[in-house]
Structure 1
Amino acid sequence: MNNPADTTPPRRAIDIVNASLKRRYARERRFRWLGATAVTLGMVFVVLLFADIILKGYTAFQQTYIQLPIELAAATIDPDGTRDPATLARADYMKLIREALREQFPEVRDRRDRRRLNSMISVGAPDLLRERVMADPALIGTTQELWILADDDIDMLVKGYIDRNAPESDRRVSDQMIGWINRLEAEGRVAKRFNTIFFTHGTSREPELAGIAGALMGSFYTLALTFLLSFPIGVGAALYLEEFAPKNRWTDLIEVNVNNLAAVPSIVFGLLGLAVFIGFFGVPRSTPLVAALVMTLMTLPTIIIASRVALKSVPPSIREAALGVGASPLQTQFHHVLPLALPGILTGSIIGMARALGETAPLLMIGMIAFIVDIPKGFTDAATVLPVQIFLWADSPERGFVERTSAAIIVLLAFLFVMNLAAVLLRRRFERRW
């Protein structure tokens, strides 16, 4: 029996629905706000990361040089006058640079002060001067105003990384050397020029002589061989699994393992390469060949999965039409299905190559961490790659390597950006909507 005191009319169903709609709309607005906040925070962190890398690394694309009037005396360079390349290579070019410095600062007579004065010049400056003279022997016997590479401490001073007003005990450059640099700057003999060494030389223990040419060539050889091995194998495996393989327990097991391999930590592939390719087959360590074999194993799952998805996207009517006009199953796949799926396959392959370009852990296991000065000339020469070079430089205590580490990261990010942009453009250019 109803309570006679309860005169509240029963709520209609529409009122209950309207009340719940307000709560649902409020939850939806909160979810959208949280999603937008998450995206914004992610973008802010990415921008801050890129800004920090660029601000630390852009100065590495310039290097400090000191202009000196150097007398390329024939008595020192080529006393016999034969212009023999072997004789020119053995000449004491550091002596010529030191004599030019002494002429600029004739008041410096103390032996310790002379050592400090000479230390403003890079230890690699004589080699650079030798290369220039050997390239143009006509310079011998003349006096040339040449830009000589400065030491990394002077480079850091000119770039502002060393505070000139700080106490002398807190910096690596003495007050006396700062005075000499100030005098050279007032005479217009100190300048920052484009750092070609960074792109043309291999690594070095001296920051001002360190470059990424060796690592770039090592990465190029590794990626080229990785693509040549992984692309045909990956596409062939995907084509067989998707179009020809019978559906049974074995193919199901293979598919599960391919998917699992795509999630395996990359260092596991490095251990596999160390044990199998180097330990069992005897492939030389620290070479693009063994690196490409390891990278092929790592990128194959990505290429196979992407290729299978691309093949699935081709409508069955294409296959039926080709078979209907008399094409064999193999002709149907290679002449009709595969060309239509190729944009998606290339996109997945480029993404796999981009992942291989940025990998470090598996390459450390196979010896690519070795200190390689020479630029590799082939697939079997000792080499390193750009991510490993960044890892090595990041562990160096010199301030000059900090900016070179960031500059190498900028170059690596540029390559990754170009590769991913190429994948997007290929997909948009050749993608077909069915």
Structure 2
Amino acid sequence: MTPGRIVIAGASLAGLRAADSLRANGFTGELVLIGDEPHEPYDRPPLSKAVLAGRAGADRLALPSTRDLNARWLLGVAATGLDLGAREVRLADGRGVGFDGLVIATGSRSRPWPVPGEAALRGVHLLRGRDDAERIRAGLAAGPRRVLVIGGGFTGSEVASSCRDLGLPVTVVLRGGAPMAGALGEVVGSAIGARQRAHGIDLRARTTVTALHGDAEGRLRRVWLSDGDELDVDLAVVALGSVGNTEWLAGSGLAADPRGVECDAAGRALDPGGAVVPDVYVAGDVARWRHPHFDAEPQALQHWGNAVEQADVAAHNLTHRPLRTATALPAFWSDQFGLNLKSVGLPHLADEVVLTQGSFERGPFAAAYGRGGVTVGAVAVDSPRVMDGYAALITERAPFPPAVNATDSPAADVLAAGFGRTGLSTVHGGQS
């Protein structure tokens, strides 16, 4: 496109990367970045790990740019509307910002506790941004009698790990049968859950919180669980997944709902009929798309690497032809309870899983996932170097179970992977 104005709605990882990549692609026009937080772009994955555990300050997570962006920053003001006809983004302070090209990178937010009165109790927290992490860190430093983590996905597990690093008693309550079962299945999730329990976590699977109770001053003091138990708790972190920041797009003509904004593999935003909307691109956690390598429904891939690639693709396609598409295999990582977890592909698509290296009970291990006789994903614990080999198998659509032939490959049975088929369309890794 000729020099003009490109607006980037969202000033986190994907937004910053899109701006950086636009300049790298030779865009010389005006750049405007809009962000609802007052902070400059920062790295989110350390929030649930190093920040909560006290190893890093939330004010030291700034994301660097590789060049002078010469951009206009509108921070601390949310986008509240999009008028495609007028080619204008409307802001919460009443201003309108016109554009020649637009990148939507507004990300997602934590799903709130569904009972407003209970959610408002002091000591009940969500974790998505810097300010959230600082509030939780202050609460942990006060020495709560017990921490409750509601939800056993990656964020919930990382929060629980950080609390144990601080020596605090922690109860994790999860509706499913194992931690991270939505992303890794109950077979692998149960193996990781056993290791969490070995670190002192009170893990309550197939359990829900039925009520949060506060004292006369409005501070959390007690919780009731569906298994009939009652716990004295001073601090709770609600980790029930995320919701796309798409409300501002209502009535815009884009295909957008709480699951995200639909786009194609080139990052081009789509209307409800599936037609491409000119000069509007989507990147990062808010993008809901169909990965060209997998036979799967459109989904949001909330991974750090996906945000970076989609931002690069959007920047290229706003400035150059022919179009590029996002093709990198999804991959994410998590550090928790002294373990390093890495995943590649889309394990949650699988119907079967097999242990390919090591042991579920102790030490490093790797497992491969299959669907319809094809390898679609893999996960490794404390074995990051093996992931390139599994990525190659997934790229080649190798038969499942794959022939790994490693020295530590056990004679393992193929098992049902243990995924509940609930129409999940968001895939979470560490926060991005």
Q: TM-score range by the shorter chain?
A: under 0.3
Q: Structure 2 length normalisation: TM-score?
A: 0.24
Greater strand share, structure number: 2
Q: Which has the higher contact order (CA 8 A, sep 6+)?
A: 1
- Give the number of the structure whose alpha-carbon radius of gyration is greater: 1
Greater helix share, structure number: 1
Q: Structure 1 length normalisation: TM-score?
A: 0.24
